[in-house]
């Protein structure tokens, strides 16, 4: 572990800790929808990608309180805030963040925010653009930033040209490997 790793983990833990605190207050004050387990349909989607390793993901369907300042779905640890969206590809995208949290701990959050700060969020050349990551020399799925990893598997789910690539094989193998318990939650 380098100092950078330590700093990324500490910053990620602070972000997730703050998020959890907000979520706890919002649950108490009924400012966000109740968390629920995955529906059967959602579970089927995630099983096809993750082979059952994410069956215990929780979902907040609609109102997200303060988190509604971000207009798109987002994930806090193992809880996915769908913001009323029902697109299975988006569910896969967010579930990749749960997988990242499970396998890398809180640092995934810092890495995702860092990538967005560095490359922006535009569709071409931004943090989500996995092709741009490959052009930057990150030719393995495990090396692309967390947003590009999530976007890549979203595209695989949606049946885009990514499906039959070596990167897809590597990605699916990675997310289907057994995952240990959540770090500290």
Strand order in the sheet with 74-76: 35-37, 58-60, 79-81, 74-76
- Binding span for Zn ion by CB under 5 A among 114-122, 139-147, 158-166, 169-177: 139-147
Phi, psi of 180 (to 5 degrees): -75, -175
**CB contact at 8 A, 35 and 61:** no
Helix or strand holding residue 35 (H, E) = strand 35-37
Q: How far is the CB of 58 from Zn ion (least distance, A)?
A: 17
Of 65 and 146, which CB lies nearer to Zn ion in the complex structure? 146
Position 156 contacts Zn ion (CB under 5 A): no
32 secondary structure, DSSP code:
B
Residue with the shortest CB distance to Zn ion: 150
End-to-end CA distance of the chain: 22
Q: According to CB under 5 A, which one of 46, 150, 156, 167 is a site residue for Zn ion?
A: 150
CB of 70 to Zn ion, least distance (A): 10
Q: Which two tokens stand for residue 114?
A: 């860092």
Query: How crowded is residue 127: how many other Cβ atoms within 10 Å of its Cβ?
Result: 26
Determine the interface stretch with Zn ion among 38-46, 53-61, 99-107, 142-150 (rule: CB under 5 A): 142-150
Q: Which is nearer to Zn ion, 38 or 153 (CB)?
A: 153
Q: Which segment (62-70, 99-107, 147-155, 166-174) binds Zn ion by CB under 5 A?
A: 147-155
Positions touching Zn ion (CB under 5 A) are: 147, 150
């Amino acid at each position: 572990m380098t100092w950078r790793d330590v700093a990324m983990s500490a910053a990620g833990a602070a972000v997730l800790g703050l998020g959890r605190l907000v979520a706890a207050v919002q649950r108490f004050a009924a400012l966000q929808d109740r968390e629920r387990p995955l529906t059967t349909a959602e579970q089927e989607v995630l099983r096809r990608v993750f082979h059952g390793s994410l069956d215990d993901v929780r979902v907040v369907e609609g109102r997200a309180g303060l988190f509604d300042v971000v207009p798109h779905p987002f994930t806090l640890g193992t809880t996915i805030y769908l913001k009323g969206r029902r697109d299975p590809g988006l569910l896969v995208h967010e579930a990749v963040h749960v997988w990242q949290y499970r396998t890398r701990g809180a640092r995934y959050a810092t890495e995702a925010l860092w990538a967005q700060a560095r490359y922006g969020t535009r569709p071409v050349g931004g943090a989500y653009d996995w092709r741009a990551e490959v052009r930057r020399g990150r030719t393995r799925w495990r090396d692309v930033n967390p947003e590009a990893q999530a976007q890549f598997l979203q595209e695989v789910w949606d049946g885009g040209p990514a499906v039959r690539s070596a990167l897809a094989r590597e990605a699916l193998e990675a997310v289907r490997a057994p995952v240990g318990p959540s770090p500290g939650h």
